[in-house]
């Protein structure tokens, strides 16, 4: 249920309504626009509650939400969510580029990659200290040592950091290092982790699960939002289908669909989405044309020697070339890069 306040409602009037709703056993979430405040009401639908709200002079109208994702939907929050981190905005006119190696291998490799992506024009370094892998025999990441390397590289380069958290027990550990906390595809429905991330006050990058529907993806975001953390960034990274020629099937139709259903910003990961570096430029351009707010691209100083995802990683030179090519596409869709 959504309670729409009268235009220009005062703070004390809003508090009066929220206090009454909480006394009735509901959770409340505020969405404040320039002229109007909308109150998202979470809890079991009861007609008497709606009638009580409609009788309040401070309330303009009460609207029932039919979709299961209440807080992630545009009914609750019609305007696009824009996330600000320092001088970077995600979800606005600027195209956000996150780039770097899949896994941190050593300090030298990480610094080389960071300097390359910064020179190319990216302002956010992506790199994994924890690497959940299909095989237990594959490289699993440097863990805390990798996080320490990320801290050092952030100081040296000034880049923001996005890196993956593995579970609810490592949230504090990763939050201490990262500016954006990434939830990987395998953890999209780790509800204990999502609840914990709802308690922090840092942006969360939520990757779509391997076989997740759009609704399941948005419901995962709902867990974080319902905990009070409204800074969620969605990431389309491809889903599993019957097609064997690519690592995953990059579902670019998800971008405009998410834009219709949700106010949350959405970026695209063409590296994991295809698994082939030769396809990354074309799919990056297509993602931007489809309306994506940003890109997450794997860049490695020497992809042939990468311990993780070398075949889908761009070289620094290829990354620089791609960002130059993206400028024309960005301009055509009203984005800046």
Q: What is the pLDDT of residues 133-188, one digit of tens each?
A: 888 888 889 999 999 999 999 999 999 999 999 999 999 999 999 999 999 999 99
State residue 140's pLDDT score: 84
Nearest CA among 295, 211, 210, 208 for reference residue 257: 208
Q: Measured on CA atoms in the order 208, 212, 217, 223, is the torsion positive or negative?
A: negative
- % the chain with pLDDT above 70: 100
Backbone angles phi, psi at 124, to 5 degrees: -130, 125
- Which helix (H) or strand (E) element contains residue 261? helix 254-261
CA distance 193 to 5: 34
CA distance 78 to 62: 15
What does the DSSP 8-state code read for residue 1? -
Contacts of 221 (CB under 8 A, 6+ apart): 69, 72, 206, 232, 234, 262, 264
pTM recorded for the entire structure: 0.93
Q: In the chain, count H helices and then E strands.
A: 11, 14
State residue 133's pLDDT score: 80
State residue 246's pLDDT score: 97
Q: Please, is 87 exposed, middle or buried when counting C-beta atoms within 10 Å of its C-beta (0-12, 13-18, 19+)?
A: exposed
Domains of the chain: 2-63 (3.30.70.1140), 83-332 (3.20.20.70)
**C-beta separation of 98 from 122 below 8 A:** yes
Report the Cα 69 to chain-centroid distance in Å: 16
CA distance 174 to 180: 9
State residue 48's pLDDT score: 83
State residue 295's pLDDT score: 98
CA distance 237 to 144: 26
Q: How long a stretch of residues is the chain?
A: 337
Cα 162 to Cα 176, 178, 306: the distances in Å are 12, 6, 19
List, run by run, the mean pLDDT of 10-residue segments along the chain (337 residues).
90 93 91 86 81 91 88 93 96 96 96 97 96 83 95 97 96 96 97 98 97 98 96 98 97 98 98 98 98 98 95 98 95 90
Q: Please, is 260 exposed, middle or buried when counting C-beta atoms within 10 Å of its C-beta (0-12, 13-18, 19+)?
A: exposed
């Amino acid at each position: 249920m959504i309670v729409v306040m009268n235009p220009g409602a005062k703070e004390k009037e809003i508090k009066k309504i929220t206090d009454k709703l909480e006394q009735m056993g509901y959770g409340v979430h505020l969405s404040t626009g320039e002229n109007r405040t909308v109150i998202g009401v979470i809890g079991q639908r009861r007609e008497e509650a709606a009638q009580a709200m409609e009788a309040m002079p401070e309330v303009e109208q009460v609207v029932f939400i039919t979709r299961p994702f209440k807080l992630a939907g545009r009914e609750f929050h019609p305007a696009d969510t824009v996330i600000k981190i320092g001088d970077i905005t995600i979800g606005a006119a600027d195209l956000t580029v996150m780039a770097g190696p899949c896994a941190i291998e050593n300090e030298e490799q990480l610094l080389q990659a960071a300097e390359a992506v910064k020179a190319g024009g990216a302002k956010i370094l992506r790199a994994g200290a924890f690497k959940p892998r299909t095989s237990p025999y594959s490289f699993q990441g440097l863990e805390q040592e990798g996080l320490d390397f990320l801290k050092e590289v952030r100081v040296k380069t000034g880049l923001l950091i996005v890196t993956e958290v593995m579970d609810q027990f490592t949230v504090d550990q990763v939050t201490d290092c990262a500016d954006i906390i990434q939830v990987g595809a395998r953890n999209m429905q780790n509800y204990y982790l999502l609840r914990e991330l709802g308690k922090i006050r840092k942006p969360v990058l939520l990757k779509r699960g391997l076989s997740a529907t759009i609704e399941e993806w948005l419901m995962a975001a709902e867990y974080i939002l319902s905990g009070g953390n409204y800074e969620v960034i969605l990431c389309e990274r491809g889903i599993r289908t019957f097609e064997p020629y690519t690592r995953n099937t990059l579902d670019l139709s998800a971008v405009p669909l998410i834009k219709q259903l949700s106010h949350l910003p959405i970026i695209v990961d063409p590296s994991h989405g295809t698994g082939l570096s030769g396809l990354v430029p074309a799919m990056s351009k297509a993602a931007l044309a489809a309306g994506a707010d940003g890109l997450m691209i794997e860049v490695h100083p020497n992809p042939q020697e990468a311990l993780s995802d070398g075949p889908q990683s761009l070289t620094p030179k290829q990354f620089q070339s791609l960002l130059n090519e993206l400028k024309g596409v960005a301009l055509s869709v009203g984005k800046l890069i």
